[in-house]
Structure formats: C-alpha cells, structure tokens
Chains A and B, each alone.
Chain A
Amino acid sequence: MAAWPEIMAAQAGGHFETLDAETAAEVEALAALIIPSTDGPGAREAGVIYCIDRALATFASDEREAYRNGMAQVQAKRTELFPASISIRALSAEQQMALMKAIETSDFFELLRTHTVLGFLGNPSYGGNREKVGWRQIGFEDRMMWEPPFGYYDAEAAKGGK
C-alpha cells in the first residue's frame, strides 16, 4: 500500500518528476474541471496531479509529448477565446467552463480525462486518491476479505425476505 510519509513529503515540497511547476498548475486546473470539488473533495484535493506526474514518469512516459502538444493547444484555445487572460487557472469559473467545452472532443481531453480518473480512483501508491478520498466518495473500500451479505438485496434474501 501507499508509502504515505514519503508521498506526503514529496508533495509538500511541490516535487514533480516530469512536469514543471507552471505546467502542473495548469494541468491541475483542467483536472479540477473534470472532477470538481463540489459535494466533497475533487481532483485537486485527491492530488490527481501527482498521479499524472508519476504516470508520465513511468508507465505513460510515451504520452509526455501528447501532454506537451495537448497543453499547447489548450493554451492557444484559451488565448483565442480570452485574449487578455494569462493562464487557465486565472480564468473565471465561467471562462474555464467555456474553455473545457471548446476542447471536450479532442484526443488530449480523452487522455486527460483518463488520467484524472486514474488519479482520483486508482491505488494511492501512485500519488493520487490522497487518503482514499476518491474511493470514499464512491463507497468503495479496498479490503482483502469480505463476508456476505454484501449489499441490501442479498441481506434481505438471507433474512428470508422475498
């Protein structure tokens, strides 16, 4: 399982393996639009950006170029839509939504969506799903062992209900 002290220490220092701090902050702003912090923790609180960074350093290393190109395209789209803006994270909430709508059919959006979900609901040892906030939101608990009944309906059947 997750080596929490190490991960937290690395994250506290803002340490990234592949992303620079500026890019990381911009990617995180997009991830936070995919899984927002409404009704409980979202991508930001789960530390999704750290999982994305870890992925790009390891099993998804061949996607680094897709991130470089994809982020360049997103920034170009931002400048096109909001010429006076300076960054994704500095946009207003409404502007951010408009930007996402403008990119939601792109290949890079798919990649980012996949990685955001990996970081929110994946094993915490990759740096995301911090303190299992993602799993807690969906009602999943990772255990080695369960005993029936597992849910409402099998419990009902065990009680002799119809």
Chain B
Amino acid sequence: MTEPVDFLVIGAGAAGGVVAKELAVAGFSVVVLEQGPYLREKDYSHDEIKYAFQPGLTNDPKVQPVTYRKSDAEPARRVKAIEYGRQVGGGSVHFTANYWRFHESDFRERSLFGAVHGADLQDWPITYADLEPYYTKAEYDLGISGLAGANPFEGPRSKPYPLPPMPAKSSGVLFERAAKKLGLHPFPAPVAILSQPYRGRGACVNCGFCESFGCEMRAKSSTLVSVIPVAEKTGRCEVRSGCYVRKIETNDAGRVTGAVYFDAARREVFQRAKAVFVCANGVETPKLLLLSKSKRFSAGLANSSGLVGTHLMWDNGVEVQGLFEHPLNEYKGIQATRLIHDYYRSDQRRGFYGGGGIDARFDYYPISFALHGLPPDTPRWGSEFKRTFATYFTHSMSLLSHTSSLAVMSNTVTLDPEVKDAWGLPAPRVTYDYHPDDRATMKWLIARQIEILETAGARKTWVQPYAVADNMPSRHLMGTCRMGNDPAASVVDAHSRAHDVPNLFLVDGSNFVTAARQQPTATIQALAYRAADFAIHAAKRGELA
C-alpha cells in the first residue's frame, strides 16, 4: 500500500510514536516507517546474554557499522560509539525510564552563564513555559510516576504527576538519609513506569529488568505500549516495521514529497506524503538528511546553514559504587528511586560550565557486575575474583551522575566515505571529543558522590578507571539539527520545522540546543507533542498541502 498519505513519520521511537498518535487522532492519514522489528512483550525476556551482550534491542554494528574518531585529524575506526533503540517504540522500549523535565534555566544558559570558550553555548528559542503544557501532556498520555513539588529546583508545573512515585529501594533509602544529612534535597525519581494500573495497563511488579530490557508487563511507558496502540486504533495510522529509509525526496518547489525506503525484503518502495516528520534520533536523522542530497539541496536536505550533523552532544556521567554492611538486593525493583538536583545548575564560582543530577541506583545485572562492576583492584581471576563478585553483588549500590555536555561545532555526525552498511548506505561517522568543562564537571561530581556514599555508611567506594575518559557508547544522541530562530545558525525553527523546507519537521534529540543534564526523553517527547500540535494547525490552515 503506497497510496499518498498526509504525513510520513520516519522512526517509531520516543518522538515518532507521539507524533503519529497526535496526527492520527487529529484525523490525518499517517504511515510510520521503522528500521527495526515490531516486537511485543512476549518477545522479551530476562536474558542478560541476549540483551546486554548482543544487540537485542539496539543497532547491530555487524549490519549497521558506526565509525568513530576523536578529531578529523585521525582516521575513523569501526566502533559502536553510539547506541539507539531499534524497534517499534525505539529507545523508549529499553531505556531505564528516567523522566526528568528540563529546568527553566536549561533553556537560557547562555544568558545566565555567558559564553564558554571552545563551545557554542546558546539559549533555546523557546522557554520552559512554552514547553510546560507539553511536558504535562506527555506525563498524562504516557503514564509517568513521580511526586510533584518534591524537587525544589524544578520549574512550575500545571498538574501533579498522574501516578505516585515508585517505592524507595535500599539504595534510595541510604541515599536519602545521607543527602538530607548533608543538607541536600533528595526526591523520588520521576519514571516512565507505572506505580499503579493506568489506562488498561498493569502496575510494575519490580522484576528489576528495566535498563537495556523490554518490559514484559507493559508497565514501562514506552510509546510501543502507550500511544502507538492509540494511533493504530484510529484506523488512520499504519506502522511499517523493518523499513529503512534511504532518501527523502523533494520537488522543484523545494518541498518534500515522500521517502524511498527498503522494505523488509530489501525492495525499494516510494511512499508519497504531503509532509514528513523525521524522528530517527540524533544520529540517524542527520545521516538521512545528508543522504538526501539533490540539485537544490546539494549539501544535504535542510542544510543551507551547513549545521546538519554538527554540535553532537554526548551521554555524560560517572558512576561511583559503594559497598555496605547489610544486603541491599538492588537487583529487585526499578533501577533508580531517589535523586538530587542540588548540583544541577552551572555556577561560575566552580571555574567551569556544567552540573549534574545524581541518582541512587544499581546499574548491573549478574554478568555485567562480575565483568565491569567490581573495584578496579580486584583480581581478575581466581578465588578472590569469585569471592568478590559473589559477596558484593547483593551488598553494593551505585550513585550515577548525569552531567552536562557542551555543544561544540567540531563534534559531528557525517557520512563515512568508505564504510557501508548491509544495505549499501554509508555508515554514520562520529567525530567527538569532550570539552574540558565536561570532564571537569564529571570529576567535580565524583567527589560529591563519594561524600554522599561515605555519609551513607559505605565501607568502601570505587570508581571505574575508564570513567570520565571514555563514555561509550553514547545513548543520548543530541544537538545535530539544533533549534533556533536564525536560519543561518540553526536547522529547525522553534516548532521543529526545517527552516529550509516548509513541509519537513525534524523532532528528536537532534533539536536540542543544550543537553541539560541528560535524561532527554521527557523533553524529546514534549517537543514532539508541541511540533505535532503546530503541524496539525498548519495543515488545517492548508500550509502543508
């Protein structure tokens, strides 16, 4: 079925699922194209070998290679530098489900903090107040658990969370006690996980397998189980899985007309549409624009600014672990239940830009703990190795910082000139190095994390040696089609519409002007609701036809 439709949505993830549902419910016909498979809860399991040691729910570098280099002075090599959810529901299926709103300050850090040498720190063209109604809409539509007012640093909200917070685990209890002792402000983690039954889905049963896994109980509020079924129920939205877009087509008037994709049998199909939404993530979206060259758009689609693919921001943060006297059994229950935003804001007095949130959690499953979670001075084999992983597993927890990542012009996604994927398309080539302030922020927070763990009574604390130096793969892909009012200095306008193409919308992490303090999903989805709202009105005014 390749009849023309009103809207084509490329990518069925956190943003694409939201957009598809909004458009279909508003009465438009929609086709959604998704690279990955259409899985259901029965397809998931607690199999750590499958989901943590093979690309069970993420991009597989064997068929879709990624190349990486630190700077354009060095050759790129094949390495899984970035990771994204690759199925209907995208990253919202396998993410940890943290659901933080950005702060008011995140949208105007340039004004508040000033310029940063070697970076391109800018204010967003929108404010927290512009996005607030859409954060609220997302929280209610998808099903988010949390406690309104508990985070004293959060901006004003028009409504409380639809669901109460999840119960505190032992890590949350220890963290909360210590943070209060230090005069900090711990609060229950807002999560896209149901603490109570909601809109036909059951509550979380605390099985413990959120991060990297698909939820077998439909309690994680992915777009797969929340909004996509609503879109499909309208009868106006068709989700085509296993469909990989290679080019967005344009006409002589400079408007997009649809996209060419490989279907599951690798046949080329052209889907015509009146307007196109690209929601493919912060790496796949710029890749597709760069692939969609034409006479009129010789540098790639929507790229008159030359900024498509630039300002890639990274998934920064550092984990500090602690060992305690009594069992915590952190493998039970959701990953993170308590956090602080006390160190979130940038502060000139620190001497560098940046800040972070810190949550109490357990990031490990049995295998990953034994291989990657032990103190660095543990013997790597033998009876002491065995004794350590066997006794530490139930008695340790982590504090994870989620930190700023500056937008730097030379951190990019481009097309690799040599390496191709299994469909013959160029691999995305990632060029990325940390801004010194990003490293300084992570190092500064490590000392805060150790302080909290020690106050909580940890008998031992440790940091992995690769922390700060090499956070790979990055799972938060942001900044590569940045939002702004000036078409020469940004790719999309304040409603996620491409400056250069009136019927093309780009909405996902690529829109981000700043990375805030990670946890991008809530903001990606709020932007998606806002862009869809704008597109619906524009279409009704006849602007997109």
**Which residues of A line the B interface, CB within 8 A?**
33-36, 38-40, 42, 55, 59, 97, 100, 104, 113-114, 117-118, 120-123, 125-126, 134-135, 137-140, 142-154, 156-157, 162
- Pick from B2-10, B108-116, B142-150, B379-387 the stretch touching chain A: B379-387
A152 touches B326 (CB 8 A): yes
Q: Can you report 16 residue pairs joining A to B where beta carbons are below 8 Å apart?
A: A34-B381, A39-B383, A39-B386, A40-B390, A113-B380, A122-B47, A138-B389, A138-B393, A138-B394, A143-B207, A144-B205, A145-B206, A150-B169, A151-B330, A154-B168, A154-B170
Q: Choose among A118, A126, A150, A153 the residue that contacts B206 (Cβ–Cβ < 8 A).
A: A150
B386 touches A151 (CB 8 A): no
From DSSP, what is the main secondary structure of chain B's interface residues?
loop
B331 to chain A, nearest CB (A): 6
Q: What A residues does B390 contact at CB under 8 A? A: 39-40, 137-139
8 Å CB interface, B28-71 against A: 45-50, 53-54
**0/1 per residue, B146-185, Cβ < 8 Å to A?**
0000000000000000000001111011100100000000
B440: Cβ under 8 A from any A Cβ? no
B332: Cβ under 8 A from any A Cβ? yes
A27 to chain B, nearest CB (A): 14
B404 to chain A, nearest CB (A): 31
B167 touches A140 (CB 8 A): no
Q: What A residues does B46 contact at CB under 8 A? A: 123, 142
Q: Choose among B49, B333, B382 the residue that contacts A34 (Cβ–Cβ < 8 A).
A: B382
Assembled-state Cα–Cα distance A125/B332 (Å): 22
Assembled-state Cα–Cα distance A123/B8 (Å): 41
Assembled-state Cα–Cα distance A137/B383 (Å): 13
**0/1 per residue, B191-225, Cβ < 8 Å to A?**
00000000000000111100000001000000000
B385 to chain A, nearest CB (A): 7
A28 to chain B, nearest CB (A): 14
**0/1 per residue, B229-266, Cβ < 8 Å to A?**
00000000000000000000000000000000000000
Assembled-state Cα–Cα distance A154/B175 (Å): 11
* A144 and B170 contact, Cβ closer than 8 Å, known pairs A117-B371, A138-B390: no
Q: What B residues does A151 contact at CB under 8 A? A: 169-170, 326-330, 332, 394
B206 touches A39 (CB 8 A): no
B327 touches A152 (CB 8 A): yes
B419: Cβ under 8 A from any A Cβ? no
A118 touches B49 (CB 8 A): yes
* A125 and B47 contact, Cβ closer than 8 Å, known pairs A140-B393, A153-B174: yes
Assembled-state Cα–Cα distance A123/B394 (Å): 18
Q: Choose among A39, A126, A140, A146 the residue that contacts B387 (Cβ–Cβ < 8 A).
A: A39
The residue of chain A having its C-beta at the shortest distance from the C-beta of B329 within the complex is: A151
B409: Cβ under 8 A from any A Cβ? no
A148 touches B333 (CB 8 A): yes
Assembled-state Cα–Cα distance A150/B167 (Å): 10
8 Å CB interface, B325-344 against A: 326-333
**Which residues of B line the A interface, CB within 8 A?**
45-50, 53-54, 167-170, 172-174, 177, 205-208, 216, 324, 326-333, 366-367, 369-371, 380-383, 385-387, 389-390, 393-394
A150 touches B370 (CB 8 A): no
B383 touches A38 (CB 8 A): yes
Assembled-state Cα–Cα distance A33/B383 (Å): 8
Q: A39-B387, A139-B329 are in contact. List 10 more A-B contacts (CB 8 A).
A: A34-B382, A35-B385, A40-B390, A42-B386, A134-B366, A137-B390, A146-B207, A146-B333, A150-B330, A156-B173
Assembled-state Cα–Cα distance A36/B382 (Å): 6
B329 touches A123 (CB 8 A): no
Q: What B residues does A122 contact at CB under 8 A? A: 47-49, 366-367
Q: Choose among B173, B324, B331, B366 the residue that contacts A157 (Cβ–Cβ < 8 A).
A: B173
Q: What A residues does B48 contact at CB under 8 A? A: 121-123
| Most chain B CB neighbours (cut-off 10 Å) among A55, A125, A145 | A145
Assembled-state Cα–Cα distance A113/B381 (Å): 8
Q: What B residues does A157 contact at CB under 8 A? A: 168, 173
B386 touches A154 (CB 8 A): no
Q: What B residues does A59 contact at CB under 8 A? A: 49, 53-54
The residue of chain B having its C-beta at the shortest distance from the C-beta of A55 within the complex is: B49
The residue of chain A having its C-beta at the shortest distance from the C-beta of B386 within the complex is: A35
| Most chain B CB neighbours (cut-off 10 Å) among A97, A117, A154 | A154
Assembled-state Cα–Cα distance A157/B456 (Å): 14
B205 touches A145 (CB 8 A): yes
The residue of chain B having its C-beta at the shortest distance from the C-beta of A31 within the complex is: B381
A89 to chain B, nearest CB (A): 16
* A162 and B177 contact, Cβ closer than 8 Å, known pairs A121-B370, A146-B208: yes
Q: Choose among B54, B174, B177, B207 the residue that contacts A145 (Cβ–Cβ < 8 A).
A: B207
The residue of chain B having its C-beta at the shortest distance from the C-beta of A135 within the complex is: B366
* A146 and B332 contact, Cβ closer than 8 Å, known pairs A122-B48, A151-B169: yes
A112 to chain B, nearest CB (A): 9
The residue of chain B having its C-beta at the shortest distance from the C-beta of A142 within the complex is: B46
A59 to chain B, nearest CB (A): 5
The residue of chain A having its C-beta at the shortest distance from the C-beta of B53 within the complex is: A118
B394 touches A144 (CB 8 A): no
B383 to chain A, nearest CB (A): 4
Q: What B residues does A123 contact at CB under 8 A? A: 45-50
- Top 6 A-B residue pairs of the complex, sorted by shortest distance between their CB atoms: A152-B326, A151-B170, A153-B170, A121-B366, A150-B332, A151-B328
Q: What B residues does A104 contact at CB under 8 A? A: 380-381
The residue of chain B having its C-beta at the shortest distance from the C-beta of A33 within the complex is: B381
A38 touches B386 (CB 8 A): yes
B328 touches A146 (CB 8 A): no
B393 touches A139 (CB 8 A): yes
Q: What B residues does A148 contact at CB under 8 A? A: 167, 169, 206, 333
B364 to chain A, nearest CB (A): 10
Assembled-state Cα–Cα distance A25/B138 (Å): 56
Assembled-state Cα–Cα distance A157/B337 (Å): 14
B366 touches A150 (CB 8 A): no
Q: What A residues does B177 contact at CB under 8 A? A: 162
Q: What B residues does A140 contact at CB under 8 A? A: 331, 366, 393-394
Q: What A residues does B393 contact at CB under 8 A? A: 138-140
A36 touches B206 (CB 8 A): no
The residue of chain A having its C-beta at the shortest distance from the C-beta of B217 within the complex is: A144
| Most chain A CB neighbours (cut-off 10 Å) among B53, B173, B205, B381 | B381
Assembled-state Cα–Cα distance A117/B393 (Å): 14
The residue of chain A having its C-beta at the shortest distance from the C-beta of B325 within the complex is: A152
A142 to chain B, nearest CB (A): 6
